[in-house]
Amino acid sequence: MKIGVLVVAYEASATLEAVLNRIPAAALLIVGWHSVTTSRDALRYGTEGRHWGSLTHKLQPIHLFVRGQPEAVALFSNEPQSLFAATYRWPIQNQYLATQPRLVPCRHRISVWSLQSFLPDGKPIRVSVILEDSTGQVLDLSTCDSHIAQFWP
């Protein structure tokens, strides 16, 4: 009987020892995987950008269209930070700042309405769509000498 207990105790300690011997290998494997993933992401984000700074975001048709507009075109958007990151145009106003004075000369106004927004309400009304893609629309807000309040009730 004593021999049976000793055999079970020996087998249990041998199993525990085998598990403990594998822990450093598993830890090294996890650290190695994390290092590879972190390095890959850092290289990718350094060359292509990330989120709003990514090439995918900057090269969307709606952003290329806005980037090609003359400086005298006033920009409005429900996502001004996103539009600025893609176009480097300033100033970009939103519907709540529409009546504020312009800081730069203006001849015409357009609004870039993003479909993925935290401000889904307040879309301009009675406007024509200049361009539309999967991310949003470019809306014509008429000339700068027209009354802007007509587009936002």
Where do the structural domains in the chain lie, given as residue ranges? Answer: 2-48, 53-151
The whole-number average pLDDT for the span 29-46 is: 86
Question: Global pTM?
Answer: 0.68
Q: How far apart are CA 32 and CA 28, in angstroms?
A: 6
39 has pLDDT over 70: yes
Q: How far apart are CA 144 and CA 129, in angstroms?
A: 17
90 has pLDDT over 90: no
Per the model's pLDDT, the better-predicted residue between 68 and 8 turns out to be 68
Whether the CB-CB separation of 68 and 62 falls below 8 Å is answered with: no
Angle 28-33-38 from CA coordinates, rounded to 5°: 125
86 has pLDDT over 60: yes
| pLDDT value of position 142 | 93
Residue 132: alpha-carbon gap to chain centroid: 19
Q: What is the pLDDT of residues 96-145, one digit of tens each?
A: 887 787 778 899 999 999 998 877 778 899 999 999 998 899 999 999 99
**CA-based diameter of the chain, in Å?**
102
Q: What is the mean pLDDT of the chain?
A: 84
7 has pLDDT over 90: no
Whether the CB-CB separation of 94 and 76 falls below 8 Å is answered with: yes
